Structure 1
Amino acid sequence: MDGLLKNRDRIQLSEWIGRACNLVLLYKVSRDGGSAEKFHNLCDNKGPTVTVFYNTDNNVYGGYLSETWGGTDQWCIDQKAFLFKLYSVGEWKPKKFFSNGKSNNYYKSTNYGPLFANLWSFYGSPEKSCCGYKMGSTSFFSGSHFHMEGETSQSIANGHNDVTEMEVYFVKDGPLALEHATLWREQPQWNLQTFQELKEYITKYEPFEESEVPEANILLIGQVGAGKSSFLNTINSIFKGAISSRACTGSAENTLTKSFEKLRIRDPAAKKHLKFRICDTRGIEKALSIKEEDLRFIMDGNLPNHYIFNPVDSASAKVPGFVKDPTLKERMHVVVFVIDGSTLDVLPEDTLKKLKDFKTMVVDRGIPQLVLLTKMDKVCEFVEKDISNMFVSEGVEGLVTKAADVIGIPRSHVLPVKNYEKETLLNINVNILALGALRQALLFADDFLENQFEIEQENSRR
């Protein structure tokens, strides 16, 4: 039977321990029986361990020992030992509690299970309860031997140590590997062939033929700093074969995108522009956000390329170059909401409202939508180390679900990506995610063009 620790738990514990390591399950009270003898048979003299308690109120907490368990019947001190919490009432709230380094903080005895000075397990064998096991509560998270940072047994465990499960893991040195982790979404093959196939598809892309539209228009909408311009630069970098910066990016209090830009991507190998435009807009922000009227004009094809947004007033028909009677080729064919996944949990209410209002405007026009969830490497350390872990990361999966709920869109339409920001060299896995997202946007654009063509055909027969 596998342990209950999730991928994010293992990653967090590895980070706290301070080195790359894997957690190998040694002892599980429900599987191996609740006895001190069994615990010591399985865990003594094995090396560093992590003990995890799962209490009946969905709190998860435990302790790390850098020394080894044994049966010498004495209190000992481990300078590197720490206590921790992972979940509070089922909610992910990781926190580490360091040893004070001055007093004995764990006990070696054949009569006890794993025993930290402020976190006891059991003597002999744990008392069974209706929901699991009653563990010891002596000095329960009292802070006498560990720095509790204001936390107590109440805030960590609802004041009790009644558990449904307790596990002890061996800390095995070596690169963190979650090869047995469950995929939450089918993933591409992370290889050169996949990259070349995606690049070839996009290079050869032609908009839905009957529509007679020369280029698909992909509109990017998102909050300031989410990565709209960075996504454009990422796509441009892939085709240039080196990191480039067509669109202005960087840190700023307000949006760096001051104008409406319908940007083309050039394929240097074929010496031609590809058959789509990525359309960048002013970002969503508290005071100087893109106006609803501006967005309507953009989606309907009225505003000219390079239109400079007025931070105070909305656009009007008096704008130089205003397209009074736009055709299908001027309109937007797919809308991509770009959301910063690292700030999704703290997105301001006014930003959420604007995203939802804009989404309603998009739906009213029958334009298909996607969501690009950016900065996933800042959400999950495991993804930061290797982008190919994107679809086994439970943290990323949770944000995909949340983004789908926020925008009101199917989960399959939310695509996690990583833009080029700090990198100086291209990464094939970053390329695969970005090109996969672009291909999906082009497919959706064709769906819209086909729908519009059929509507025009029906109208012409009336």
Structure 2
Amino acid sequence: MNPRLTQAQEQQRALFSQLTLALRRRSRIGPPPTASRPPLPPPPSLFPPLSLFPFPPPSPPPSLSPLPSLSPFPSPPPPPSPSPPPSPSQFPPLFPPLFPPLSPSPSLSPSPPLSPSLFPPLSPSLSLSPSPPPYPPLSRPPYPPPSPSPPPVPRRSGGNSFFVKLLYKASVHGYTAAAFHQRCDNQGPTLSVGYNNSSFVFGGYTNVSAESKLLEKPDSSKLLQKPDSSKLLQKPDSSKLLQKPWRNMDWTPENRRKLLFDIQTYKPIISSLSQVRVLLIGPVGAGKSSLFNSIKSVFKGHVTNQAMTGSSGISLTTQFRTYHFQAGEGQPLPITLCDTMGLEETTGEGLNVDDISSMLRGHIRDRYQFNAAVPLQPEDQDYKNSTSLQDRIHCVAYVIDANKISIMPSKLEDKLNAIRSKINLIGIPQLVLLTKVDEACPAVAEDLTNVYHSLYIKTKLQEASQRLGIPLSCVVPVKNYTHHIEVDQNCDILLLSAVNQMLRFAEDYFDEVNDRLSNLED
């Protein structure tokens, strides 16, 4: 070891020696010689060889003993006697070039010189592998495919196990009988559930498998024979008229004037009363509000439309209204009609049956807003605690459409029967006003005087009497002013006759009240 070199310099020299040997070994490895074509000449160098310093390295020492100085000053000039340069393997310069030119090996073909780069080229056998992803790949898809539907689960009821399986759904499989039988035939006991637009749920269970026999040839011996037409119930002919009327009615102008006079001059037998209060009850669209407009038109002499009317699936009357009448000169008439909300078959819609008792006893004020779900309570603002005979109802008139009496729903009929039972407990007389008789019978529409000659109208009155439990003598046909712009004499007579019947029925109620007062005095 040269004493003039430090340990760091010795390590640096060893590092450069190893690097030089590695580059020499790599330069000897080149492509194998081919006989087909000579090797390509080396590409020209694009950049000059790089060196770590801008000035040339110091020249080697003349002998092995002296070492180049480490001072920044240039080394002394060599002695005049020439001496052979030391071998590079023995004493390489302190700062040799990064990539010195190497002589080709005599046994191998010449290889191109190294490219002036800071890093040696990679071996052709080496290949770069892509960098691994930041996250390992998922072993399964993020959303697993849906599993098949499980088999039907046995349900236990009463100790017996049975399976529930959906066979047919109309909204999925089709609204046809063929689709039903295709999926439900020979499936064993079945449970059917259905519902309609009115939110009614119904169904049934059978332990017999469904079968389709549509494709079987029918047995001609079991076909229904043509029924005897003489034994069938014949539908009444709406155009058939009776020679003699089944109820007498005077259609003359004198009778119209007489009815007007009797109504205008009527006075209740109870002196404390000035007017008769009649309650109108009926289904939606029967014509309760139109009845008030028609009666008012008779006394006014022209068609009026004070109460709201129209065709709708729900009741247009939503308030309890009391309508008063006046003659042509402004004289008040002794009758007041109390209009109510229309009845509907659905529970919780239309007039609440529990409000009937409050109306009959006079506890409901005018313009009370009906609530189909909750009846009027005594603590409400529209409830009248103290009432008199003048505030109570003296007669009840059911307004029924003649065209719909045959198809009246059973639930609506039950509501009317419940109302009639409440009224019977109080003892108030009741009658039925059958409206739209001109639409029910063409002969009546042609001539209104045929109303008591029409056998069809008579059957309609009898049907209303049977379904509502009201005597036939208490059922009166009327015709409202619906499409008219002028009053008609025959229509006025029918309306005035109905008002006259209301006053007569109220008179019977006043007689009953007087009898009760007399019994209390005794």
Counterpart check, 1:278 vs 2:278: no
Aligned counterpart in structure 1 of residue 305 of structure 2, from 233, 239, 245: 245
Q: Equivalent residues in 2 for 1:379-394 (5 A)? A: 379-394=440-455
**Counterpart residue number, 1:233:** 293
Deviations 1:63-98 (A, max 9, x none): xxxxxxxxxxxxxxxxxxxxxxxxx7023188xxxx
From the superposition, tell whether residues 447 and 247 of structure 1 become closer, same or farther in structure 2 (CA, over 3 Å).
same
Counterpart check, 1:90 vs 2:149: no
Deviations 1:144-172 (A, max 9, x none): xxxxxxxxxxxxxxxxxxxxxxxxxxxxx
**Counterpart residue number, 1:407:** 468
**Counterpart residue number, 1:20:** none
CA distance in 2, matches of 1:433, 1:207: 23
Q: Equivalent residues in 2 for 1:310-325 (5 A)? A: 310-325=371-386
TM-score (norm 2): 0.54
SS at match of 1:260: strand
Deviation at 1:459, TM superposition (A): 1.1
**Counterpart residue number, 2:319:** 259
**Counterpart residue number, 1:395:** 456
Deviation at 1:58, TM superposition (A): 6.9
**Counterpart residue number, 1:181:** 243
Q: Equivalent residues in 2 for 1:310-349 (5 A)? A: 310-349=371-410
Q: Equivalent residues in 2 for 1:37-436 (5 A)? A: 59=229, 89-92=232-235, 181-186=243-248, 188-210=249-271, 212-269=272-329, 271-287=330-346, 288-436=349-497
Number of equivalences = 295
Consecutive unaligned residues of structure 1, counting only runs of 5 or more, are 1-55, 61-87, 95-175
CA distance in 1, matches of 2:320, 2:384: 14
CA distance in 2, matches of 1:351, 1:196: 39
Q: Is the 8 A contact 1:58 1:89 kept in 2?
A: yes
Deviation at 1:460, TM superposition (A): 2.8
From the superposition, tell whether residues 361 and 177 of structure 1 become closer, same or farther in structure 2 (CA, over 3 Å).
closer
Q: Is the 8 A contact 2:276 2:394 kept in 1?
A: yes
Structure 1 vs Structure 2 CA RMSD: 2.1
Q: Runs of at least 4 residues of structure 1 off by over 2 A?
A: 56-60
**Counterpart residue number, 1:162:** none
Deviation at 1:268, TM superposition (A): 2.2
Deviation at 1:276, TM superposition (A): 1.4
The amino acid that maps onto 1:285 is: E
CA distance in 2, matches of 1:177, 1:337: 27
SS at match of 2:434: strand
Q: Is the 8 A contact 2:461 2:472 kept in 1?
A: yes
Q: Which moved more, 1:384-393 or 1:284-293?
A: 284-293
The amino acid that maps onto 1:219 is: L
CA distance in 1, matches of 2:480, 2:391: 28
**Counterpart residue number, 1:147:** none
The amino acid that maps onto 1:273 is: P
Q: Is the 8 A contact 1:58 1:90 kept in 2?
A: no
**Counterpart residue number, 2:210:** none
CA distance in 2, matches of 1:447, 1:58: 50
Deviation at 1:432, TM superposition (A): 0.3
CA distance in 2, matches of 1:301, 1:408: 25
**Counterpart residue number, 2:121:** none
**Greater fraction of residues in strand:** 1
Q: Is the 8 A contact 1:217 1:331 kept in 2?
A: yes
SS at match of 1:253: coil
Deviation at 1:185, TM superposition (A): 1.6
CA distance in 1, matches of 2:482, 2:228: 38
Q: Is the 8 A contact 2:270 2:510 kept in 1?
A: no
CA distance in 2, matches of 1:441, 1:346: 27
From the superposition, tell whether residues 90 and 297 of structure 1 become closer, same or farther in structure 2 (CA, over 3 Å).
same
Q: Is the 8 A contact 2:240 2:455 kept in 1?
A: no
SS at match of 2:338: strand
Computing the radius of gyration from Cα coordinates, the structure with the larger value is 2
CA distance in 1, matches of 2:402, 2:384: 36
CA distance in 1, matches of 2:360, 2:370: 15
From the superposition, tell whether residues 58 and 334 of structure 1 become closer, same or farther in structure 2 (CA, over 3 Å).
farther
From the superposition, tell whether residues 279 and 453 of structure 1 become closer, same or farther in structure 2 (CA, over 3 Å).
same
Deviation at 1:369, TM superposition (A): 0.5
SS at match of 1:276: strand
Deviations 1:332-355 (A, max 9, x none): 000001100111111111111111
Consecutive unaligned residues of structure 2, counting only runs of 5 or more, are 1-225
Q: Is the 8 A contact 2:240 2:456 kept in 1?
A: no
From the superposition, tell whether residues 58 and 91 of structure 1 become closer, same or farther in structure 2 (CA, over 3 Å).
farther
Looking at both structures, which has the greater relative contact order when contacts are Cα pairs under 8 Å and sequence separation is at least 6? 1
Q: Is the 8 A contact 1:336 1:370 kept in 2?
A: yes
From the superposition, tell whether residues 58 and 389 of structure 1 become closer, same or farther in structure 2 (CA, over 3 Å).
farther
Q: Is the 8 A contact 2:278 2:337 kept in 1?
A: yes
From the superposition, tell whether residues 57 and 392 of structure 1 become closer, same or farther in structure 2 (CA, over 3 Å).
farther
SS at match of 2:258: helix
Q: Is the 8 A contact 2:236 2:456 kept in 1?
A: no
Deviation at 1:273, TM superposition (A): 1.4
